[in-house]
Structure 1
Amino acid sequence: MPEKYKLLLSMIPFYLITLSLFLLIFSSLPIHQFSEFSVLPPLTSQTQFPNFGPSSEGTICPPSGALTCDENQAVLKVYMYDLPPEFHFGMLEWKGNGNEIWPSVNDPRHIPPYLGGLFLQHGMEYWLTLDLLASNVPSVVRACSAVRVENSSDADIIFVPFFSSLSYNLYPRPLGKAKLALDQILQEKLVQYLLGQDLWKQHGGKDHLIVAHHPNSMAYSRKKLASAMFVLADFGRYRAKVANVEKDIIAPYKHVVRSIPNGQSAQFDQRSILAYFKGTIYRKDGGAIRQELYNLLKDEEDVHFTFGSYGKVGINKANAGMAISKFCLHIAGDTPASNRLFDVIATRCVPVIISDEIELPFEDVLDYSEFCVFVHASDAVKPGYLLNLLRGIEGDEWTKMWVRLQEIAPHFEYHYPSWPDDAVDMVWKAVSRKVPALRLQFNRKNRYSRAQTTSSLSTTVSR
C-alpha cells in the first residue's frame, strides 16, 4: 500500500474523535441560545424593507406557515366591520366572486394594488386594512401587534375600513348631472350605517377607529363622527373638538422618493449642499413663510432653494439633491405637515423642521430632537439666523443625528406584509396606547349603571 494512503487511514480516528467532540459540544448548548433566531430579519439600521404597491421595487412572498400570530400575544384586538367593497377595495376596481367582501391576501401578487403617484402618500387606510385581513391567514408572515377578532366583545377597538383618502382623491366633484360627489354620498351612507349600529351606540363611537389621512377627507362627516378615534396627517384643518392629540393618532405620510439604503447614505464630508429645499414656494396660510425664506436663501452658494414639481423627473431630482445635502428643510405649507418630512427621512438627510403647529407621528415614544433640528418660524426669517445655526452644527453632532436617523427610518416605511416596528405596526401600537384611557372612561361611566337600571324599572312600575 502506498505511503500516502497509509497516512490517510491513520488519520481517520483523529477526524472521528474531532467530529464527535464537536457534536457533543453543539448538542449541549442551551436551547435559549438559538431561540432568538427567526425567519424574520431583525429590525436594525441595516435592514431594508421592500415596499408593496405600484411604486415598489419588489414584493415579498413570506415562507408558508413560518410564523403564526397568536391572538393572545397581540397588543391590540380589532373588530372590523364587513363594509361593502364600494367603501374600500371596490375603488381599486376589485370585484369579488358572488358575495365576497374582501380579496384574498395569501399572495401579494393577487391583491389589488393601490394607486401610485401622490395617491400613495395617504394610502395607510389600505395597508392597515390589509394587515387586519392578513392577521387571520397563517401563511402570511407579519408583525403581530394587531389581530382581527370575529367577536366584537373581544375587541379593544372597532375598525371602520373606509378608504376615505382614496375616495376624496377619486370622487371629489359631482360627475355629469349629479348633484353630489360620490365621495359625499359614500360618507353619508357611512354615517347612516355607523350611527345605526349597536356597537356605535354602546360607547358613542369612542372605540371606533377611522382613517382620514388626507386633510380634505371625511369633510362631510367628520363632525358627525367626531367621537371616533381618527388616524390623521395633522390637525391643521380640524377644530379641536373634532380632532386632538388626546384621542387621535398621527400617522406618517408614505414617502414618494426612493429610500436610500443606510450603507449607501453619504457622510458629512461627502455632502456638498448645506441646506436643501425643492418644492412649491408660494403657499397660503402658514405656508407664506416659504416665500420669505426663499428671498433670504436663494443666493447662498451652499443652499439649494428652488421651485419643484411632483412629476417623475422632479421627484428623481429631489431624491438626488437631498441625498447630497447635510440638512433638508421641512417648511409649513397649506398644512403643518406634508410628505416632505418623510421624503427627507427616506433619503437620510437631517430634517430641519420650520413648522410651529406640526404634530409628529409616534412622538410619545420617539424623541425627534435626536435626529431633527427644530426652528421657530419667527426665528427662521431673521436674516442670518438659520444659516448661522446650521453652519454651527459640526460634523460630530451632525453624524450623531444622522446615525439616529438611520435607526428610526424603518418606523416610517409601509409594507405588506407588515414588519415589526414598521409604520403599520407603529400605528397599531399607537392605537393600543390609547386603549387604557378609553377603558377608564367606559369603566367610570359604568359605575352606577346598575342603579340607573333599577331606577328606570322602578319608575316604569310606579306608572
Structure 2
Amino acid sequence: MATTVRVRGRWRWQLLIALTSLALLALTFVSHLNPQLGLLGNHPRPAFLPPADSRQTCDAANACTGGKSSLSTSINRESISDSNGSLELVDRESVEPAETNQLAVSASENVRGVPSLKKKRNGELYYNWKLFEHDYKEMLQRFRIYVYQDVYNNDDVYANVFMRHKHPYDPKLGNYFSEHMFKINLLDSHFLTSNPSEANLFYLPFSINVMRNDPRIRSDTTIPEFVAKYVERITREFDFWNKSHGADHFYVCCHSVGKEASAKSPYLQRNAMQVACSSNNYHKFYVPHKDVPLAQVWPRPPEPQITPPKQRKRLAFYAGRAQNSRVRSHLISLWGNDTDMDIYADKIRGSYPEAFRRSKYCLHVKGYDVNTARISDALHYGCVPVLISDYYDLPFANVLDWSKFSVIISHMDIPQLKDILLSISDASYSQLHENVLKVRKHFSWHKKPEDYDTFHMTIYQLWLRRNIISPLNTNQN
C-alpha cells in the first residue's frame, strides 16, 4: 500500500513538472512573438475608472445637437502629402514601442554606455526614424482635436483661465512658457476641428499657471476644486466626455501645482491624459504611457552661433538654489569649489548664457520636482546635458534615444560626477555634441509651428494615445 502511494505521488510530481515546463515554453514562445508584453509590464496603467451610474449616452448622430455642443469657429484644414503626392502608411501596432528612459542608471552603466555611441547605427538619435517619419506624416493628415468653446468665451468671469495668453513671450512666464505656447499653437493649427464627431481627442483648455496667479483661485486647495467643478460642468452639458468617461480628453500644465489639479476629480485623475512638465514616475497622479511628458522650455532669443567643443574650456556648469532639494545641496557641497567646474548655489557669477557657451557639460539637477528648464537651455546653447534626476519620464523618450545626446547618472553617483565626465573620450564627446545640435529643433517653440518642433513632437505623443478609446464614431482609426 505504501509503495502504491509513493508511486502515485511520484507520478503526480512528474506531471506537475511537465506541465510547468510546457507553460514556461509557451510563455517564452508568446514573448518572442510579442516583445511588447515585457515592456508594458514596467508601468501598468491603473484600472480604468468605470462610470458612477448607468446613464445612457447619446450616439454620434445626436451628440452634436444643442446650443453649446459645437464651436462657431470654422477651421480650414490642409491636405498634407509627401513629395510624390501620397503617403506611405505604416501599421503602428505591428511595431515594438521603444522603452521609456527612467533615468535609474548607475555610474558604471552610464560610462559604459557612452563609448557605444558609434556602435548603434552610427550614433543614430531615433529608435526608428523611418517608422517615426511615416507615422508623423499620417498624424499631420489625419489627427483632429476638439477644444471646448470656453477658450473663445470673453464673457465668462473666468475667461482668463481658458483663453490664450495675450503675452506668451513675457519673461515673467519663465517655466510656464510651454503651457501657454501649446495652447496658442494648437488654436492656430490645422489639427483643430469644430466637428466633435470627427475628433480623435478633446482638449480641456484651462491653464494651471493662470489659476496659480489669479487671487480668486490661486491656493493649492482651490485649484483642484475649480478644476473638478469645470469637469463636472463638461460632463453635464456635453456628451463627448461621457462617451469615454474622459479617456479621450487631455489637459496641459507646466506648473508644479498642476500635479494636484486632478485631486478632486477622480475621472480626470484616472482616465484623462495630463500633458505635464512635472512627469514624475513616482507621483500618484502621473501615469507613464497614459500621460505625456511636456518639455519645459524658456523663451530664449535665437542662438545663431554655437560654440564648438574645442572652445568649451570649462568641464561642467550648474547654478540653482540649493535649498530646493537635498540632491542639489549634495552636489554643491561636493563640487562647489572645484576648479574645473562652475557649480553655483543661488546666483551665478557673470552671464548665464555665457556659462552655457563655455562649458562642455551642463547639469540638470532635481529641485522641488524632477523637471527644470535647464535641459532645454543646455540644448539651446549647444551644451551636452547631464541629467541628475531620478524617476523623470523624459519628453519624447519613445522617439529619441537620450543616451545619444546626454549623460545620465543617478543621485547616488554624484560623488563620482567628475570621474564620469572625464572618462568620456574626446571622440565620444564630439558625437554627443553633434547629436545635441541635431535634437535642438525638438525643444523649441515658434509663433508659427515648424516641423518636428516642441509643438509637433508633443502632438505626436497625443497622436500615439488616440486609440485608447474611440470617441464619438464607430469607425476605428
Could you say which TM-score interval applies, normalised by the shorter chain? 0.5 to 0.7
SS at match of 1:411: helix
Structure 2 match to 1:297: 335
1:308 matched to 2:346: yes
CA distance in 1, matches of 2:380, 2:413: 27
Q: Which amino acid aligns with 1:116?
A: D
Task: Note closer, same or farther for the CA distance 1:282–1:233 as it changes in structure 2 (3 Å cut).
Answer: same
1:412 matched to 2:438: no
Task: Note closer, same or farther for the CA distance 1:87–1:184 as it changes in structure 2 (3 Å cut).
Answer: farther
Kept in 1, the 8 Å contact 2:175–2:254? The answer is no
CA RMSD of aligned residues (A): 3.5
Shift, 1:365, TM fit: 0.2
String of CA shifts for 1:411-457, please: whole Å, max 9, x gaps. 111112111111111111110011234349x98xx9xxxxxxxxxxx
Shift, 1:201, TM fit: 1.1
Structure 2 match to 1:375: 409
Structure-1-length-normalised TM-score: 0.65
Kept in 2, the 8 Å contact 1:267–1:399? The answer is no
Task: Note closer, same or farther for the CA distance 1:135–1:376 as it changes in structure 2 (3 Å cut).
Answer: closer
Structure 1 match to 2:170: 116
Structure 2 match to 1:132: 186
Kept in 2, the 8 Å contact 1:256–1:315? The answer is no
Shift, 1:88, TM fit: 11
Kept in 2, the 8 Å contact 1:257–1:316? The answer is no
The structure whose Rg is larger is 1
Kept in 1, the 8 Å contact 2:255–2:278? The answer is no
User: Which of these residues, 435, 443, 446, is aligned with residue 466 of structure 2?
Assistant: 435
Shift, 1:122, TM fit: 1.8
Structure 1 match to 2:307: 266
Shift, 1:218, TM fit: 6.5
- In structure 2, stretches of 5+ residues that fail to align are 1-80, 86-136
Structure 1 match to 2:143: 76
1:13-28 pair list within 5 angstroms: none
1:33-432 pair list within 5 angstroms: 74-83=141-150, 84-85=153-154, 90-91=159-160, 112-114=166-168, 116-135=170-189, 147-171=191-215, 183=223, 186-196=226-236, 197-217=238-258, 219-224=260-265, 225-226=268-269, 227-236=271-280, 239-240=283-284, 242-261=285-304, 264-283=305-324, 287-309=325-347, 317-381=351-415, 385-432=416-463
SS at match of 2:323: coil
Task: Note closer, same or farther for the CA distance 1:431–1:215 as it changes in structure 2 (3 Å cut).
Answer: same
Structure-2-length-normalised TM-score: 0.63
CA distance in 2, matches of 1:184, 1:379: 37
Q: Which structure is richer in relative contact order (CA contacts within 8 A, separation 6 or more)?
A: 2
SS at match of 1:79: strand
Shift, 1:269, TM fit: 1.8
SS at match of 1:148: coil
CA distance in 2, matches of 1:126, 1:153: 26
CA distance in 1, matches of 2:283, 2:213: 22
CA distance in 2, matches of 1:331, 1:191: 35
Q: How many residues align?
A: 337
CA distance in 1, matches of 2:300, 2:179: 20
SS at match of 2:355: helix
String of CA shifts for 1:319-342, please: whole Å, max 9, x gaps. 110110001111111111111111
Q: Which amino acid aligns with 2:465?
A: K
Structure 2 match to 1:142: none
CA distance in 1, matches of 2:391, 2:254: 17
String of CA shifts for 1:160-191, please: whole Å, max 9, x gaps. 1112222213448669xxx985x466424412
SS at match of 1:405: helix
Shift, 1:315, TM fit: 10
String of CA shifts for 1:197-252, please: whole Å, max 9, x gaps. 31111110000011122120273544511111110013339744x32112111010
SS at match of 2:433: helix
CA distance in 2, matches of 1:34, 1:360: 33
Q: Which amino acid aligns with 1:128?
A: F
Shift, 1:102, TM fit: 6.8
Q: Which amino acid aligns with 1:295?
A: S
CA distance in 2, matches of 1:172, 1:149: 32
Kept in 2, the 8 Å contact 1:255–1:346? The answer is no
The percent identity for this pair of structures is: 22
